[in-house]
Structure 1
Amino acid sequence: MATANAVSSSTPAMETTPAAVLEEMAAKAVYKRYESLMTVRIKAIKGKGAWYWTHLEPVLICTSDSGVPKVVKLRCSLCDALFSASNPSRTASEHLKRGTCPNFSSPSAGAGSGGGDGHHHPQPKPISSLPPSSSSRKRSCNPYQIEALYSSPSTSPILPHPSPQQANLVLSGGKDDLGALAMLEDSVKKLKSPMASPNPALSKAQADAAFSFFSDWFYECAGVISFSSIEHPKFRAFLQQVGLPSISYRDLAGTRLDTRYEEARSDAEARIRDALFFQVAADGWKSRSDSDCGDSLVSITVNLPNGTTVFRRALISDGRVPCKYAEDVLWDSVINASGSGKGGGATTLCAGIVSDRFKSTALRSLEDQHHWMVNLSCILQGFRSLIKDFTRGLSLFHDVSSKCSKIVSFFNNNSSARTIFHKYQTQELDHTSLLRYSNGIDCNFMIEDVISSTRAFHLTVHDDSYKLLCLDNPEATQLADLLLDMKFWNDVQAANSLVKLINDTIQDMQTDRPLVGQCLPLWKGMRSKIKAWCARYSNDETAVHNVFDKRFKRNYHPAWSAAFILDPLYLIKDTSGKYLPPYKCLTPEQDKDVDKLITRLASREEAHIVLNELMKWRSEGLDPIYAQAVQVKQLDSATGKMKIANPQSSRLVWETCLSEEFGTLGKIAVRLIFLHATAGGFKCNVSLLRWLKRQGKSRAAMERAQKMIFVAAQARLERRDFSCDEDRDGELFANGDVDELNETLMEAS
């Protein structure tokens, strides 16, 4: 029955035509571009971006028949002309600065004097340029003109140019200038009283609903926005403008927070209570390098068989946690999670632990004490350590790092060389900056800076001024020869390519969150990629594979092999038509690991039974119909890759059609193949970490902080949001308006 459902659920996806899929992907890309431009425009209007966004507005153009987003255009709010959205900066220059727009009456806004904040602002029109009116002060006050003077530039109408008869107006304060004085007085009153124009008040139900949404958003931001910010005068003015009552921080930090926390905690415990088993995940033991306090937030979560994750607790770590302390924390988490599960708190419900701490003494100790547990080190940390191993162990990185350090040090410290380099850096990259320096292991960011400035370096050493510098500076001559050496650039590119190869795999794993059965295929795939890299850059395979094999052995766990064998996803069709476990892909040692691990996970009374069932599984495998149903794939429109249609089908096969034939082995298999190989759960940002440390002086404040973290983490995990705010902001600016970002960086430098 489960198989029929799996096949039927996957059929529509398989019948989807490539054209429809491509159209959907294109529409999503267009809409994402539209959202990025809108975000950039909103920030610009607030004074944090280029001046021209007050006049250019992104518009989403849809097809007439289906309404699917087709393209993003820029509309000039002054003349309604439409332009391509590929280069807003150039559009502003061509349309606004050069006078193409007939209604753009302030060309100095683009070129001239902004404020001290480095941003350009449209120049306000003097009061004396307004037309005179009658002697009556009330009649002389034109509300539309007042609104134009003090409203936002993006919504203000264009005031007409003064006629020749208006050119001789008396300055403000003259006998015939009562109209301008009246406008000024009324405008000042309007600024002092933002609610002069009455807004309809919301009903109590509407106000309560709005406040509920606001509080949820505030809690889920968890430390990014301070409690004191809600009492900011402009925020209070905003609430009044939309018809909401003012909000006190006591309202958010009191009963409402307690209620929201209890709801989230009860929901999390109910989910664990309904689960047959679970896995504890701990992420954050290693301190954050980007944190000024050197600390990190350890996030303890619980993975459930249905693919969901719930939050349990958080604690601050300084990266120097003793193994015994980590062991106690992890075991307490197992006990607490088991206390809300079936069996009256039986710890056997915990199938295992996955943690990012690679000094895994604590993990091995807990596994030795409790035979039913499988405790894994996070595979993400293993691949990150592989990068460090290559940096330490390959002569390629030592040579490239040494030469790049000399280049960066010289061009950062020698003012004459720096001036020449910055000239071409501006020409090629549209900004100037010092190159990041490193003389240690973590030299990858320095190599990236050198590669990004390749063209600028070549132009620099060919510059006549640099050639004059070489006459008196032997180091400049030496570095010029190095920068013109193609072998050096080939080595730099090779080192950067290897790091990027591994980082791309890490990024994919962060998105996909692989299970333990995928560990061996992932490492095998990385080995193949590294072999191709060696051939491409003519590097010695022996030295590279030696480093790779050492890292693989340090992080290898027998559960990788056992889950790979038991997961129906990896069954291979043999010549007889049977789908059999892929034992031929294992080494002899890994083959033995499968027997040892499965025997350990079973009780003493069932050890011989589970081995007999394992032998039967090895020789008979799974019925072809069920195997094919498990392995059905479909196109993921978000990534454009083929993915398993029903990730839960591997476990469901063992729980249903194989339950009678493999009773003992099936109980072990469903727990084993469900285990996650990554520890990533709730990601905190640096702001949250700093905010949490500040609460440590007060027990009550720390309790409120923990409740907010729980609410925020649980909400993100429900949305399957495993990123942090800094990551999303970086992606937003990387995919958004590159021209505006370059302008901002140039102004800042």
Structure 2
Amino acid sequence: MATAANVSASASGNTTTGEDATARAASKRYEGLVTVRTKAIKGKGAWYWAHLEPILVRSTDTGLPKAVKLRCALCDAVFSASNPSRTASEHLKRGTCPNFSSSSSPSPHPRPISSLPPPPPRSSSPQPPPSSRKRSASGAGAGAGGSSSPPFQISPLALVDPSSYPPPQPQPQQLLPPPPHQQLVLSGGKEDLGALAMLEDSVKKLKSPKASPGPALTKPQVDMAMALLADWVYESCGAVSMAAFSHPKLRGFLHQVGLPPVSPRELAGPRLDSRFDDARADSDVRLRDARFFQLASHGWKTTDSIVTLAANLPNGTTVFRNAVFAHGGRAPSKYAEEILWEAVAELCSGGPFQRCVGIVADRFKNKALRDLENGHQWMINLPCQLQAFRSLVKDFSRDLPLFPSVAANCSKLAIFFNSNSPARALLHKYQLQEFDHSGLLRAPPQSEPSANFDPIFAMLQDIMANSRPLQSVVLDDDYKAGFHDDSDAREISEIISDMRFWNELEAAVSLVKLVNSMAAEMEAERPLVGQCLPLWDELRSKVREWCSKFGFDQGFADKVLDKRFKKNYHPAWSAAFILDPFYLLKDTSGKYLPPFKCLSPEQEKDVDKLITRLVLREEAHIALMELMKWRSEGLDPLYAQAVQVKQLDPMTGKMRIANRQSSRLVWETYLSEFKSLGKVAARLIFLHATSSGFKCNASLIRWATAAHGRSRLAMDRAQKMIFVAANAKLERREFLNEEERDAELFAGAADDDVLNEAYVDASSV
């Protein structure tokens, strides 16, 4: 039994020894084939190794290598690795492999240049390759007679099989035989690599032309894409340069997506003419369908700008009509009157001028509005309320005692820290700690505060935002030691340490933001004339809350606000407020009656006077009788509730009127018994209270100013482009230009209580 066990153990040991030997042989064979294949792929071996891959087969029992196979990378077939050359001939060349073709067979020569890795990026001091550095290091001190290696070497481009030619015979005069692996050095340096790769790619394409990567665009698709591209250029209105379409990068992009190159001359010529004709025809149809309209004129308040003329239609849409280049300063009143009346005549298209119900413009002191209204009794010419709110900010800054003192103290702070180097360095230190950036404090030019309040307000906001760094500076020991004997520095410390200054600064900034926020909301919503009285009442209520919060005399603020209100008030505000069913109030009997109780006695008289002026003389008494009936009976509760339906605006999160046209449509349909009063109401309710619509961006103003005066053709193209852009934006209700949308995109959220945290440690200042 012992003998049998010994024999069994001996046999087992022999088997283990045999498996180990087989595994070692297979591993050695596999490593040798991998080495051969690696050299071949680098261009130093047979061509077929690009398609044949060695694989190591392991035993399922022991996991040891037991054999080496060759796998075809094209069809995944497995062969014996005993004779790779014969395997390649039988499987690849004879067509046994279904995925192999003669065109896919690589050249049996060194690897093409196109398969080499790209050259390293260029630098001001190129370094030699590692191999060159090694040779240089090993040959250091050899003397000037040593040969230097070239800066780079590449394999020669071989387009034919060199084995088909006999090897060259050495010449008798040749002293040394050429090296076995002579490499080609290109005369153009590394820049030749790209050109050489292009050459080889061209040869490959000629040998085996390939089909296009995908189907080309059809002609309708190309036409549609080009039309959309042109519309984008026009509607950008100067922000996109037509000359940019000559840029090679843009031309390359168009070629890549299958579009033909775009000619700037075609964009500014035939294509613009065609697009303008379509837009003009559409606007003409809209104007003809409307029974009446309101002329809106914007741009009179600025210099070196463009005055736009548009028509507000009863259905709530706006049609752009014309642009006037007011280059060189504000236009005189008589010139403005002529421009406005010419626009009215053009929009009426030879019909009765009574189609133009009125004008809304952004110039308060323009005598033209009053003269046109006095000469045509059916017209309601209104000042723009958006401009009124913006002017109210200037009124506050000029008439409230708060603003001059705050502006003076902020100006002292800005001038001191901007001009004093040690103080500025300390401020920058704490700015970096607070904001991760530093900079100068904004200071307005030395001019009257009432001239332009925008730079002053920017300074107030800047000082308010830097409240914590400023307070840290005056607490710093270096500041106390360095400015101990400086009277200006002591005054600056007193200002920053005074809590009253920061309270007044916060109050001033808060009041300006209050008015500006209402103005921004007004610009986005474009309120109607019936909303003017509620808007001013809302503003008055917010100003009173501001006075209560900051402890200011309400009488001063009300005086400034009432002065601006009277300057802009128009009797149409009161009349539209009374006739608009949206403002009907439910009384104790369940009726919905006009809000006469919200008007002053003078405003009630304005309603009567305006209605009698807007109707024919023989209909005046009828209109007043219908007004008394409207005052006593009002509107059916169901219709009144339907008109007053509100819905949530997802953009602002506020409740808005669901259908702004309901107020007018009720008068034209359900309240048809009011013959005279209904005509006045329908023509009065839809009037806009702001002139803002299409806003010219800075690029358009520069572009139009450059075109102005050059030639008639340049002016004609500018007018057409503005017309196309304006009507497209008004149709999409885009009332902000590109600069304002970019500012909203990049601006961070404002913190209204930015000073609250700064006041925490103020008692220690």
Amino acid at match of 1:210: A
Pair 1:707 & 2:717 matched: no
Amino acid at match of 2:115: N
Structure 1 residue 645, shift from structure 2 partner: 1.3
Structure 1 residue 227, shift from structure 2 partner: 2.4
Pair 1:651 & 2:664 matched: yes
The match for 2:318 is: 309
Pair 1:141 & 2:114 matched: yes
Pair 1:337 & 2:352 matched: no
The match for 2:675 is: 663
Preserved CA contact (<8 Å) 1:411 1:421: yes
Structure 1 residue 549, shift from structure 2 partner: 0.6
2:687 to 675, 678, 691: 675
Preserved CA contact (<8 Å) 1:199 1:241: no
Q: 1:257 to 1:535 in 2, by over 3 A?
A: same
The match for 1:207 is: 222
1:459 to 445, 449, 472: 472
The match for 2:432 is: 426
The match for 1:484 is: 497
Distance 1:276 1:678 in 2: 21
> Alpha-carbon deviations, 1:115-145, whole Å to 9, x = none?
xxxxxxxxxxxxxxxxxx99956445337x5
Q: 1:176 to 1:581 in 2, by over 3 A?
A: closer
The match for 1:295 is: 304
The match for 2:40 is: none
> How many equivalent pairs are there?
579
Amino acid at match of 1:479: I
The match for 1:504 is: 517
Q: What TM-score results when the alignment is normalised by the length of structure 2?
A: 0.72
Residue 647 of structure 1 aligns to a residue in which SS? Answer: coil
Distance 1:181 1:435 in 2: 61
2:239 to 193, 215, 224: 224
Amino acid at match of 2:677: L
Q: Which runs of 5+ in 2 are unaligned?
A: 1-105, 122-129, 137-148, 158-183, 752-765
Pair 1:721 & 2:734 matched: yes
Preserved CA contact (<8 Å) 1:436 1:446: yes
Amino acid at match of 2:584: L
> Alpha-carbon deviations, 1:627-665, whole Å to 9, x = none?
1111111111111111111111111110111012x1110
2:483 to 452, 470, 473: 470
1:521 to 527, 534, 542: 534
Structure 1 residue 422, shift from structure 2 partner: 1.4
Q: How does 1:130-529 map to 2 (within 5 A)?
A: 136=109, 138-139=111-112, 141-142=114-115, 145-146=117-118, 173-175=151-153, 185-187=192-194, 201-287=216-302, 294-317=303-326, 318-339=328-349, 344-438=350-444, 439=446, 440-441=448-449, 442=453, 443-529=456-542
Pair 1:690 & 2:702 matched: yes
Structure 1 residue 177, shift from structure 2 partner: 7.2
Amino acid at match of 2:744: E
Q: 1:437 to 1:649 in 2, by over 3 A?
A: same
Preserved CA contact (<8 Å) 1:194 1:237: no
RMSD: 2.9
Higher-Rg member (1/2): 2
Residue 141 of structure 1 aligns to a residue in which SS? Answer: helix
Structure 1 residue 243, shift from structure 2 partner: 2.0
Residue 471 of structure 1 aligns to a residue in which SS? Answer: coil
Preserved CA contact (<8 Å) 1:358 1:377: yes
Q: 1:561 to 1:134 in 2, by over 3 A?
A: same
Structure 1 residue 585, shift from structure 2 partner: 0.5
Distance 1:664 1:437 in 2: 58
The match for 2:98 is: none
Amino acid at match of 2:414: V
> Alpha-carbon deviations, 1:171-220, whole Å to 9, x = none?
98445777998996454577999999966543322222211111111111
The match for 1:130 is: none
Distance 2:196 2:398 in 1: 68
Q: 1:191 to 1:722 in 2, by over 3 A?
A: farther
> Higher relative contact order at CA 8 Å, sep ≥6: structure 1 or structure 2?
1
Structure 1 residue 226, shift from structure 2 partner: 2.3
Preserved CA contact (<8 Å) 1:558 1:594: yes
Preserved CA contact (<8 Å) 1:285 1:319: no
Distance 1:417 1:539 in 2: 34
Distance 2:466 2:201 in 1: 51
Structure 1 residue 314, shift from structure 2 partner: 0.6
Preserved CA contact (<8 Å) 2:530 2:576: yes
Structure 1 residue 688, shift from structure 2 partner: 0.8
Residue 535 of structure 1 aligns to a residue in which SS? Answer: helix
Residue 345 of structure 1 aligns to a residue in which SS? Answer: coil
Q: 1:514 to 1:135 in 2, by over 3 A?
A: same
Distance 1:585 1:223 in 2: 48
Structure 1 residue 276, shift from structure 2 partner: 1.1
Amino acid at match of 2:257: V
Distance 1:656 1:136 in 2: 91
Distance 1:213 1:627 in 2: 44
Q: How does 1:595-634 map to 2 (within 5 A)?
A: 595-634=608-647
> Alpha-carbon deviations, 1:716-739, whole Å to 9, x = none?
111111110100111111269x9x
Q: How does 1:532-543 map to 2 (within 5 A)?
A: 532-543=545-556
Q: Which runs of 5+ in 1 are unaligned?
A: 1-132, 151-163, 288-293, 739-749
Structure 1 residue 298, shift from structure 2 partner: 0.8
Amino acid at match of 1:675: L
Q: 1:418 to 1:262 in 2, by over 3 A?
A: same
Preserved CA contact (<8 Å) 2:113 2:155: no
Residue 316 of structure 1 aligns to a residue in which SS? Answer: strand
Distance 1:365 1:189 in 2: 79
Amino acid at match of 1:665: L
Preserved CA contact (<8 Å) 2:299 2:306: yes
Distance 1:450 1:172 in 2: 64
Distance 1:255 1:299 in 2: 25
Preserved CA contact (<8 Å) 1:360 1:377: no
The match for 2:583 is: 570
Amino acid at match of 1:142: S
Distance 2:646 2:735 in 1: 24
Preserved CA contact (<8 Å) 2:301 2:362: yes
Q: 1:176 to 1:321 in 2, by over 3 A?
A: closer
> Alpha-carbon deviations, 1:89-131, whole Å to 9, x = none?
xxxxxxxxxxxxxxxxxxxxxxxxxxxxxxxxxxxxxxxxxxx
The match for 1:64 is: none
Preserved CA contact (<8 Å) 1:135 1:178: no
Residue 483 of structure 2 aligns to a residue in which SS? Answer: helix
Distance 1:656 1:176 in 2: 89
Amino acid at match of 1:374: I
Residue 279 of structure 1 aligns to a residue in which SS? Answer: strand
Distance 2:329 2:316 in 1: 30
Residue 520 of structure 1 aligns to a residue in which SS? Answer: helix
The match for 2:17 is: none
